[in-house]
Structure 1
C-alpha cells in the first residue's frame, strides 16, 4: 500500500517544517487543495514544496473548472512539472468550497470532463477547444497527469473515459469500492481503456486515538464536509441507505462552507453529523480511528479489499506528531 498525505497551507514557515517531516516519513505524494478563500494558492504552495523536496510526487487534490481557465491551469501545471522534475499531478472536481465562498456554481459533469480533457491535451502539446475558442500552449508544455475526483455514477464513468486517475471519497468499504470501480471501468471501456490505464486513490481519515469513538470525534467536521461534497448534487447511486437521505439533505442545507476543512473552527459542522445521526455511517466509509494496533488492522483489511493507494488526511491537532506516529507505528505494522 502507498500513502500520500496533505495539508492546507496558511503559514509558509509552518509548511516548510511540515514538508521536511513529511519527506522524512516516506510519504509517496504530498498534496494540498485549491480553495482560495480558506488557504494559500496551491500552485504557489507546491512550487515552494518542489524546491524543498526531491522525490515525492506533488498533487493538487483538487482544483475546479471555474476559478482557473484551462489554459491558465495547463500553463501553471507545466511550470510545476519543470520546477519539480515531472513530479506534479493535477486533480480536478466540479468545485466545492472554492466556489461556494465566492458565489459561483459548481461545474456540471460535462463541463468538468471537458475541462479535464482540455488541460490534459494542452500539457501534452496538443490543441483543444474550450467554449468555442481554440487553445494551444505555445511555451514548453509538460505532460501532466490529470485526475478527477468522482463520487456518483456519471462522474465516475466520465473519469474512466477521460482522466489519468481517479480520487475517491467514502470508498473504504469493500462494497463501495467495488461499486465505484465498476462505474470507472464502464467509462474506461467506452474510451477503449481498462482500469489498468488509470491510477486510483482513496481519501481516508486516519486518527490514532485511545478509542475508535474518540478518534472519530476529532474528525466529525471533516465527515460533515465530505458528506456535503459527496452528496451535493444527488444521493442516488452512492450507496446511501434510504433512511439517511433526508438527514443528508438537512446537513447540506445547514452546512457552513466558510469553515470547510477547518476542524479547529467548525464546531457547527461537527455537531451536525451527531445531531442528524450520520456519524457512524460516514465514519465507516471514510475513517480509520482508534488504537495503533486497530488502525493497522483496519488498513490491512482495506488493502485486502483491493485498495492500494490512500491519501491520508491530517485533520488532527498536531500534524507533525501524527506523521511520525503514522509512519513509525502504523505503517511499520503493515510491512
Structure 2
C-alpha cells in the first residue's frame, strides 16, 4: 500500500510546520503531497511554494474546485506547475457542493456530472495542444457567445507547450454515478468517507465507468485510487477515535445545507441515518462538542485506521485487496514515520507508540 501526505485545509492561516512535514514525508518515501481548498486558501499556490523546496515527491490538488476557475485557467495552472516541478504535478478536481458553489463562487450548481464531463474535456484539449480549443457548452462555451458577448472571441491554443500532454487528472467523487464517471474519464479517483464495508460497491461503480472508457484514456490497470484515510496509531482505540470524531461530525453535521449534504448521504448509505440525525441536529444547534461525542466508534473504525499497530495491520488486509492504491494521510511531522511504519509493516516499539500517544495528547 502506497502512502501520501495531505496538508489539509487552512484555518486562520497556513498549517503549522507544513513545509517541515512535507520535507519529512519526502524523506520517508511518501509518494505524493496534496493540498485542499474550500473558501479560503487556494490549492495551487501552496503547492508551488512548498513544492519548490522538494525534488521528488509528487504534487497534487485534493481537490481544486471546478467553480473556482474556468477550465482553461485550471489547465494553465496545471501546465505551469508541471513545468516548474519537473513533471510531478497531478490535477485533482471536484464539483464541491451548492453552498460553496452558489454562495462563494456565485455560480449555479445543478448538473454537476455534466459540468464535470465538459470541464475535464476542455482541460484535456488544452493539454493536448492539437488545435485551438472550442467547446459547444452549454456550461463552458468557447468562444463565449452569450447575449452580452462582444462576438470578438476566437478559439485559442496555449502559448506554452505542456510538459506532459497526458498530465494525470483525478476526480473526487462520492455518489455512485460520480464514481462511475471517474472510471470513465479520469486517470484516478479520490474517494471520501469510503467505508471498508462499501468496497465491493466502489469496485462495481468503477467497473461501470471502465466499461465505457475511451480507448485513448490511460489503461485501466494504471488507474489510481487515492483515499483520504485517517491513520491514528494509539494504544487506546477510544482515544484514537476521539481524534477522528471532530472531522466526521463536521462533515455529517456542518457541511452543506440541511437536506443537501452529500457527505451525510454517504454516511446514510452506510446505515447510520439515525445517528446522523442526532449529529446534524446538535451541530446545527451550535452544540459541536455534543455532536462530536455522538459519532459512534463503530463508524470511525469503518472509515479510519485507529488503535494499536497490530489492530491497524489486521484491518489493512481488506484495504490491500480493494481498489485503493494509496492512503492519503494527515498528521504532524513527528507522527509521519510511525504512520508510515504502521501502514507499510515497519517495526513499532512500545516506547515509540507511547511517545506518540503522549505527543497527540499534548
Return the TM-score normalized by structure 1. Answer: 0.81
Match of 1:232 among 261, 284, 298: 261
Residue 24 of structure 1 pairs with residue 24 of structure 2: no
Answer whether contact 2:67 2:105 (CA < 8 A) is retained. Answer: no
Larger radius of gyration: 2
Specify the alignment match of 2:207 in structure 1: 185
C-alpha RMSD of the superposition: 3.2
Specify the alignment match of 1:322 in structure 2: 335
- Where structure 1 has 5 or more consecutive residues not aligned to the other structure, the ranges are 257-266
Residue 308 of structure 1 pairs with residue 333 of structure 2: no
Specify the alignment match of 1:285 in structure 2: 302
Specify the alignment match of 2:104 in structure 1: 102
Residues in 2 aligned to 1:2 and 1:128: alpha-carbon distance in whole angstroms = 38
Answer whether contact 1:123 1:141 (CA < 8 A) is retained. Answer: yes
Answer whether contact 1:80 1:88 (CA < 8 A) is retained. Answer: yes
Residues in 2 aligned to 1:223 and 1:191: alpha-carbon distance in whole angstroms = 33
Match of 1:159 among 166, 182, 202: 182
Specify the alignment match of 1:196 in structure 2: 221
Change (3 A) 1:333 1:31: same
Answer whether contact 1:113 1:159 (CA < 8 A) is retained. Answer: no
Match of 1:133 among 137, 142, 151: 142
- Deviation at residue 65 of structure 1 after TM alignment: 1.2
Return the TM-score normalized by structure 2. Answer: 0.76
More strand by share: 1
Residues in 2 aligned to 1:111 and 1:28: alpha-carbon distance in whole angstroms = 30
- Where structure 2 has 5 or more consecutive residues not aligned to the other structure, the ranges are 144-154, 348-362
Residues in 2 aligned to 1:26 and 1:74: alpha-carbon distance in whole angstroms = 28
Specify the alignment match of 2:74 in structure 1: 73
> How many residues are paired up?
315
Residues in 1 aligned to 2:179 and 2:114: alpha-carbon distance in whole angstroms = 12
- Say which SS state the counterpart of residue 19 (structure 1) adopts: helix
Residues in 1 aligned to 2:26 and 2:275: alpha-carbon distance in whole angstroms = 40
Change (3 A) 1:305 1:191: closer
Change (3 A) 1:55 1:330: same
Deviates more, 1:10-19 or 1:62-71: 10-19
- Deviation at residue 306 of structure 1 after TM alignment: 5.0
Residues in 1 aligned to 2:124 and 2:25: alpha-carbon distance in whole angstroms = 28
Answer whether contact 1:170 1:176 (CA < 8 A) is retained. Answer: no
- Deviation at residue 251 of structure 1 after TM alignment: 4.6
Cα deviations across residues 277-331 of structure 1 (Å, max 9, x unaligned)? x4335313321011122223322442134533211133xxxx0111122234553
- Say which SS state the counterpart of residue 30 (structure 1) adopts: strand
Specify the alignment match of 2:352 in structure 1: none
